[in-house]
Amino acid sequence: MSIQESGEMYLETILILTSEKPTVRAIDISEHMGFSKPSVSRALGLLKKEDLIVVDDDGHITLTNAGRMLAETIYARHTVLTALLTRMGVDKETAAADACRMEHAISDTTFRAIQKYIQQQ
């Protein structure tokens, strides 16, 4: 499965919102990400087609097992990269923004090396 960076961002957002709210709907994602409702609907349609999310009759969005695994991987990358950058002296806001861009491009090999490095510090 090949999912684009924007799809990864949606999955990560759904994961975060799921931890904050009892149910997640498209409007919640739209508000959280600052995207229009039509943009969110298109993205959710693609994620649904890839079997990464399920949308029930009431519009509640749930991650499938595959969607959850991918979202958790992306979120872990985000938190580890943010931690690394802040330890290096980057302010938290800039670190989080940069980590958000880096999390989608970094290889698994490099990410594992960074994780190992941080654990040894």
CATH number, domain containing residue 38: 1.10.10.10
In this structure, the answer to whether residues 97 and 116 fall within a common structural domain is yes
In this structure, the answer to whether residues 43 and 86 fall within a common structural domain is no
Say if CB 104 and CB 74 are below 8 A apart. Answer: yes
Q: Say what angle helices 26-33 and 5-20 make with each other, to 10 degrees.
A: 110
Q: Give percent above pLDDT 70 in the chain.
A: 98
d(CA 15, CA 6): 14
d(CA 43, CA 33): 12
Range of the domain at 29: 5-69
- What is the value of pTM for the model shown? 0.85
In this structure, the answer to whether residues 51 and 92 fall within a common structural domain is no
In this structure, the answer to whether residues 57 and 9 fall within a common structural domain is yes
Task: Give how many domains the chain has, as a whole number.
Answer: 2
Interacting residues of 27 by C-beta distance below 8 A, sequence separation 6+: 37
In this structure, the answer to whether residues 12 and 64 fall within a common structural domain is yes
What does the pLDDT average to over 76-89? 93
CA angle 40, 64, 45 (to 5 degrees): 30
Q: For 13-45, how does the pLDDT look when each residue is reduced to its tens digit (9 = 90+)?
A: 999 999 999 999 999 999 999 999 999 999 999
Select from 54, 69, 84 the last residue of a domain.
Answer: 69
d(CA 118, CA 80): 8
**Residue 1, pLDDT above cutoff 70:** no
d(CA 51, CA 86): 35
57: DSSP letter? T
Name the β-bridge partners of 61: 55
In this structure, the answer to whether residues 18 and 48 fall within a common structural domain is yes
What does the pLDDT average to over 58-74? 96
